[in-house]
Amino acid sequence: CVCVCVCVCVSERAMTSFYVPGVAPIDFRQNDYVEIKAVKLTSSRTQLPYEYYSLPFCRPQTVEYKAENLGEVLRGDRIVNTPFQVFMNSEKKCEILCDKPNKPIKLSLEQSKLLAERIKEEYYVHLIADNLPVATRLEFYPNRDEEIKKKERDVQFEHGYRLGFLDSNKYFLHNHLSFVLYYHKEEVEQSKEHTFRVVRFEVQPQSIRHQDLKADKNGACTLPEPPSFSPQEIDATKENEVLFTYSVHWEESDIKWASRWDTYLTMSDVQIHWFSIINSVVVVFFLSGSILSMIIIRTLRKDIANYNREDDVEDTLEESGWKLVHGDVFRPPQYPMILSSLLGSGIQLFCMILIVIFVAMLGMLSPSSRGALMTTACFLFMFMG
């Protein structure tokens, strides 16, 4: 398990900006449609992924699932379209997501219980835009001084956004999403129109009660100021009314398309329990060392005592105890098939991990090719047999 985790982490972080043929950038023009797709729901507590529409989110008129490879299926990805209407370099202050603009969605008792359960289990929602996963910006201020806070801040990102949060034994849903997309303007000739490339996809989730959103019949809404609204509570004991909204903001960035994955590859993945892995490795090494040392000390204690005796030299010349092991070298093992199976499986896993890391270091496993790492590992495991 530790070897597989190390293989995945090293291979993902070893990817460079080199892209294999067939993975080309998409150039957008002004007001071109940028599709927002949903991937899955994940939680580091349950380790069970769910598809996006397993929860009562707003659906488009036609739900279309993307064809997936073996790696995406093993990862639990279920990429599907969403009703978000995002256009290149076009701002949206606040817009209602569902079909009925001025009427909130009424959640049944079962749907309310399911939402509250997923919020309690700390599920994250994963979206993609131009094959870039969404990330939540987290800002930390190491100093408490107000003047120093403005100058010094630590910015980190986490994959996806939280479905909701728990406060005072009450469940609150993030029903408003503020999308922040960064684009890089490509250099073209003066007579040609500028093209844009998406280089980062961020989201700032908010929980706003539907009475405070002030929706109209045209599908627009008004975001209240932070102190003047209450969060959207989900009561698991009754039916609830929710209004899903979103806003879009575009910013120009100096990051080029070839380097747009650098931010994502440096994120701390919540799915990898580093503390548990290190703790397990330390415990295994400690127990193995202590058990081996106890066996060796108990086995050699008698022989060491005999060597230290000056009056019993003749007894030390006889081979006894652990020195008889050299006779077992030429004897066949008791279970040769089990030994050969374990040895063969170990070489099979070792060759698979080695080739996957080598191919990833060459940059041939692009992060934009979802599931490519898992598919390559499965193929090499079968091929190395």
Can you point out the beta strands (E) in the chain? Answer: 33-34, 36-42, 80-81, 86-87, 92-96, 105-107, 124-129, 132-133, 135-140, 154-159, 161-162, 164-167, 170-173, 176-185, 196-206, 233-234, 240-242, 245-252
- pLDDT of 18: 44
Q: Kindly indicate the confidence band of residue 274, based on its pLDDT and cuts at 50, 70 and 90.
A: low
252 and 343 share one domain: no
Phi, psi of 314 (to 5 degrees): -65, -30
66 and 167 share one domain: yes
Using CA atoms, how far apart are residues 383 and 385, in angstroms rounded to an integer?
5
Residue 372 lies in a domain: yes
Whose CA is closest to 118, among 72, 184, 192, 171?
171
Angle in degrees, 0-180, between the axes of helices 2-13 and 372-383, rounded to the nearest 10: 130
CA-based torsion, 24, 27, 33, 36: positive or negative: positive
Residue 374 lies in a domain: yes
Name the residue with higher pLDDT: 323 or 53.
53
Let me know: does 213 contact 222? Beta carbons within 8 Å: yes
- pLDDT of 272: 56
- Residue 18, classed as helix, strand or coil, is coil
Domain range for residue 198? Answer: 32-143+151-265
Mean pLDDT of 106-112: 92
136 and 56 share one domain: yes
Residue 285 lies in a domain: no
Q: Among the listed ranges 2-6, 58-62, 75-79, 332-336, which one has the minimum average pLDDT value? A: 2-6
- CB count within 10 Å of CB 248 equals 22
Residue 275 lies in a domain: no
- pLDDT of 202: 92
Using CA atoms, how far apart are residues 128 and 75, in angstroms rounded to an integer?
16
- Residue 170, classed as helix, strand or coil, is strand
Largest Cα span, the chain: 106
Using CA atoms, how far apart are residues 96 and 205, in angstroms rounded to an integer?
15
Mean pLDDT of 225-237: 85
- pLDDT of 366: 73
Mean pLDDT of 251-270: 77
Tell me what the pLDDT averaged over the chain comes to.
81
Mean pLDDT of 209-221: 82
The tally of domains found in the chain comes to: 2
Among the candidates 204, 234, 265, a domain finishes at 265
Percent of the chain surpassing pLDDT 90: 34
Whose CA is closest to 272, among 44, 42, 24, 13?
44
Using CA atoms, how far apart are residues 334 and 339, in angstroms rounded to an integer?
9
Residue 297 lies in a domain: no
174 and 78 share one domain: yes
- pLDDT of 2: 43
pTM, to two decimals? 0.72
256 and 360 share one domain: no
Residue 83 lies in a domain: yes
Among the candidates 265, 299, 320, a domain finishes at 265
Among the candidates 236, 265, 294, a domain finishes at 265
253 and 167 share one domain: yes
Asked whether the predicted pLDDT for residue 310 surpasses 60, the reply is: no
pLDDT digits (tens, 9 = 90+) for 311-367: 555 554 555 566 666 666 777 888 889 999 999 999 999 999 999 999 888 877 777
249 and 359 share one domain: no
Q: Kindly indicate the confidence band of residue 33, based on its pLDDT and cuts at 50, 70 and 90.
A: very high
Structure tokens at 197: 């490339």
- pLDDT of 145: 59
- pLDDT of 355: 93
Let me know: does 6 contact 35? Beta carbons within 8 Å: no
100 and 233 share one domain: yes
Mean pLDDT of 193-204: 89
Amino acid at 143: N
70 and 183 share one domain: yes
Mean pLDDT of 247-276: 77
How many angstroms separate the Cα of 129 from the Cα of each of 26, 37, 151, 162? 11, 7, 31, 18
Using CA atoms, how far apart are residues 21 and 12, in angstroms rounded to an integer?
19
Name the residue with higher pLDDT: 303 or 62.
62
238 and 349 share one domain: no
Q: Kindly indicate the confidence band of residue 7, based on its pLDDT and cuts at 50, 70 and 90.
A: very low
- Residue 326, classed as helix, strand or coil, is helix
Using CA atoms, how far apart are residues 271 and 12, in angstroms rounded to an integer?
14
Using CA atoms, how far apart are residues 237 and 114, in angstroms rounded to an integer?
11
Mean pLDDT of 147-151: 56
Whose CA is closest to 170, among 254, 232, 100?
232
How many CA within 13 A on the CB side of residue 137?
Answer: 14
Q: Among the listed ranges 7-16, 63-72, 234-243, which one has the minimum average pLDDT value? A: 7-16
Name the residue with higher pLDDT: 13 or 41.
41
Residue 215 lies in a domain: yes
Using CA atoms, how far apart are residues 108 and 240, in angstroms rounded to an integer?
7
260 and 365 share one domain: no
Percent of the chain surpassing pLDDT 70: 79
Asked whether the predicted pLDDT for residue 252 surpasses 80, the reply is: yes
Residue with tokens 């503390």: 275
Name the residue with higher pLDDT: 384 or 11.
384
41 and 178 share one domain: yes
- pLDDT of 122: 92
Residue 19 lies in a domain: no
- pLDDT of 21: 41
Let me know: does 31 contact 87? Beta carbons within 8 Å: yes
